[in-house]
A and B are shown apart, each in its own frame.
Chain A
């Protein structure tokens, strides 16, 4: 269960570090959602995946997190297909927070965060050394330590989301995937979560989040991936993707929305301002 075994299994010719989607085709039943998608996620950066409803953002992030199996192609982590990893070994590399996780009734914040340690347990060792420290640290950096013994169900939406993120942090992985972590939160809590994402990146993690708000994505992410109809329409830094007339054209093409691109007065990043309708 060390990195050396991972490295020794690396297929020849595919030495890329980090997460790579290679010619993915993913669908449900007769519908194909992703069709021939290729993507390399920059290591150590905060990547935001954006796009209109139904473009396949969630499908992509769930496939990257191996909760969906592609029909064709593969997701590679450090050059090795996810399916070739042992599940717990992979879970020590890659954490995923789904959009709508099940809240066990009566679960406390501490008990929830502790479940992030499962990848380090084995059938004969259900408590691992370092569990307590990792749980305490994860609760500390997400600011939920004071809530540790409160039932999750009694917390506000923002506190609850922090607790879930603390659980993925307790998993202590270099890669963290989040499916719409800011949805259903009020604006202050959305900004809060985006700061937590940035902090995770500052600690050296690769963070990938599906986001809805283009301006927030441009302001907080290092790298934007714009999805449209099951493919990557554009990717790059926020300035390169959304800046100037090209950015306005892209929003028109992808979201079918007429807009101009202004500059965020605080961060200097591009800001999408929809045109007034007559």
Chain B
């Protein structure tokens, strides 16, 4: 079987998996709703309370799929551009930027979380990435090391700022503590509508860049001779990764691990070609996150575990499997 047809099989399999977990997500939850309760609702009728529950689960499932897809693809791009197997969206400052913005709004402007979090976290993430890119840019340098270091510096500084604020005023940070772990509990269609444009723009940009990212992986010189405008592609790649990760983080908080683990699993399955890695990471990331969210709702009834807590537990076995097969590659 050639690489392409194998990748197509993987893509179809991942899509089937996503469909299954999405359907389960509509039925499963901290309130036990059976097939006989949910089906009438989906058909447009049924009990009013169950209807509200199912509506919220539809929004939650859709948002979970978007967050997972966006984080996974963002991780693929960041690992590709930085040629760093430990790369993840946080490397560019997305996570700390969004968190610092939320903390600042909470501490100084009486912000209490909820639906408006999106409009605080998105610009925070964008500003942080701009700062990292500006600090990491060295004229004429072909290395991505300055970019990675700038990201690490900004993460350290903003991380310390966040810690200091939270320690100084623990009373006001209750909603932040929940947000910072990553949760889909408050998911609604407004949040989905708010972040979808950024996520879709990032996804389209990523797919358009796929072939160029393959060339960029061979080094700047070879990429240039293959007709790649290197600074343009690198900049656009960072923009795509930022849009994706910022949309996800704004919607659900900084969900860890998906952006790191899914790219490795995807590479183990379909190889190093970005033209396959990106579509497969969208679907697999979405499936992982929705599955983690379902697990979080089911294991701690009648409460629930936040999805950011569960992703690591659900994702770790897959990452370990990829490692043990010796197929973890950049």
Contacts and interface: CB of A to CB of B under 8 A. Distances in A.
A105 interface: yes
B227 A106 contact: no
B3 A126 contact: no
B229 to A, nearest CB: 6
Interface size class of B (residues with CB under 8 A): 20 to 34
Given A91-B227, A126-B210, A126-B275, A105 B221 contact: no
B219 interface: yes
Interface of A: 62, 65-67, 87-92, 94-98, 101-102, 104-108, 110-112, 114-116, 118-119, 121, 123-124, 126-127, 149, 171
Contacts of B85: 105
Contacts of B225: 65-67, 91, 94-96, 98
Contacts of A89: 227
B271 A90 contact: no
Contact of B211 (A92, A101, A118): A118
B272 A67 contact: no
The 3 A-B residue pairs whose C-beta atoms are closest, nearest first, are: A106-B329, A91-B227, A102-B219
Given A106-B327, A107-B272, A108-B3, A66 B224 contact: yes
Contacts of A105: 85, 272, 329-330
Interface of B: 3, 83, 85, 207-212, 214-215, 217-222, 224-229, 267, 271-273, 275, 327, 329-330
B217 A102 contact: yes
B219 A118 contact: no
A108 B273 CA distance: 10
Q: Which residue, of B207, B214, B228, B229, has the highest number of chain A Cβ atoms within 10 A? A: B214
Contacts of B227: 87-92, 118-119
Contacts of B271: 106-108, 111
A189 B10 CA distance: 38
A124 B224 contact: no
A139 to B, nearest CB: 13
Q: Which residue, of B208, B217, B221, B229, has the highest number of chain A Cβ atoms within 10 A? A: B221
A20 B229 CA distance: 23
Contacts of B211: 118, 121, 126
B325 to A, nearest CB: 11
Given A118-B215, A126-B210, A104 B222 contact: no
Contacts of B218: 101-102, 104, 112, 115
Contacts of B207: 126
Contacts of B210: 126
A194 B232 CA distance: 36
Contacts of B221: 62, 65, 67, 96, 98, 101
A111 B226 contact: no
A104 B330 CA distance: 6
A98 B223 CA distance: 10
Contacts of A104: 83, 217-218, 272, 329-330
7 contacts: A67-B220, A102-B218, A106-B267, A107-B272, A108-B3, A118-B215, A149-B3
Contacts of B208: 123-124
B75 to A, nearest CB: 16
Given A91-B225, A104-B218, A127 B275 contact: yes
A138 to B, nearest CB: 14
Contacts of B229: 87
B206 to A, nearest CB: 11
Contacts of B330: 104-106
Contacts of A171: 226
Contacts of A65: 221, 224-225
Contacts of A110: 3
A107 to B, nearest CB: 5
B212 A98 contact: no
Contacts of A98: 219, 221-222, 225
Contacts of B214: 115, 118
